[in-house]
């Protein structure tokens, strides 16, 4: 009877672990997708508009094409680079998670993945912060330093940037969730 009980317990535990691993795989795939779409959305973000610029008051204004590109702003370049790195890492960690599931997980690998998850969380958060901070000035402008808002002209550009930003924030939330799940799993076994 005791052995039977032990087996039952073992099976339940195994199913539980497999469930957690599958949710980890799913979350890593979600992080990969979110950061990939965020990087692409911002990386291809470009809008050209014909703007009327008055040159001399006696003549009609000149119609000049003006373009907004993501790489005009350091913050947006940083955003694309970080999201691309996080996207690549999410894919690599997904493969490593699946490989360690088959071959048995190792302490060193688990610690490396946790550390890199933490680095990705920090990098993605800083990139989202930078894009949010600069984007807010693009929307509102800043009268104190005479920085004029640009999102009233480049609406499509700003909307696409905002969509990328939301996806990136969701991506960092996934990394946070992965880290909480991992901590919960380890602490459950410890205490």
Residues in contact with a copy of itself by CB under 8 A are 68, 72-75, 78, 105-107, 110-111, 114-115, 118-119, 121-123, 125-134, 136-138, 140, 142, 144-148, 150, 172, 176, 179-180, 182-184, 186-191
Q: Is the dihedral of CA 129, 132, 135, 137 positive or negative?
A: negative
Within 8 A by CB and 6+ apart from 27, the residues are 174, 177, 178, 181
Taking the least distance from each CB to a copy of itself, the nearer of 39 and 130 is 130
Task: Report the length, in residues, of the chain.
Answer: 191
Q: How far is the CB of 78 from a copy of itself (least distance, A)?
A: 8
Q: How far is the CB of 180 from a copy of itself (least distance, A)?
A: 5
**Residue 61 per-residue DSSP state:** P
Taking the least distance from each CB to a copy of itself, the nearer of 102 and 189 is 189
Taking the least distance from each CB to a copy of itself, the nearer of 40 and 110 is 110
Q: How far is the CB of 140 from a copy of itself (least distance, A)?
A: 8
Q: How far is the CB of 84 from a copy of itself (least distance, A)?
A: 16
Q: How far is the CB of 184 from a copy of itself (least distance, A)?
A: 6
**Cβ(149)–Cβ(141) below 8 Å:** yes
Taking the least distance from each CB to a copy of itself, the nearer of 8 and 133 is 133
**How far is CA 7 from each of CA 21, 29, 48, 162, rounded to the nearest angstrom?**
21, 33, 67, 52
Distance between CA atoms of residues 68 and 156, nearest Å: 10
Taking the least distance from each CB to a copy of itself, the nearer of 88 and 116 is 116
φ and ψ of 101, to 5 deg: -65, -40
């Amino acid at each position: 009877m005791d052995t039977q009980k032990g087996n039952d317990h073992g099976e339940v535990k195994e199913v539980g672990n497999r469930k957690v691993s599958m949710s980890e795989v799913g979350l890593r795939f979600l992080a990969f997708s979110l950061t990939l779409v965020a990087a692409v959305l911002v990386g291809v973000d470009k809008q050209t508009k014909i703007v009327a610029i008055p040159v001399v008051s006696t003549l009609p204004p000149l119609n000049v094409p003006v373009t907004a590109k993501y790489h005009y702003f350091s913050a947006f370049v940083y955003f694309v680079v970080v999201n691309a790195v996080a996207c690549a890492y999410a894919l690599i960690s997904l493969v490593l998670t699946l490989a360690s599931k088959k071959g048995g997980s190792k302490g060193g690998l688990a610690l490396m993945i946790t550390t890199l998850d933490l680095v990705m969380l920090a990098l993605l958060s800083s990139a989202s912060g930078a894009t949010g901070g600069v984007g807010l000035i693009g929307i509102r402008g800043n009268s104190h330093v005479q920085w004029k808002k640009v999102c009233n002209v480049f609406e499509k550009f700003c909307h696409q940037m905002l969509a990328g930003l939301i996806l990136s924030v969701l991506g960092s939330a996934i990394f946070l969730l992965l880290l909480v799940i991992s901590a919960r799993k380890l602490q459950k076994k410890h205490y």
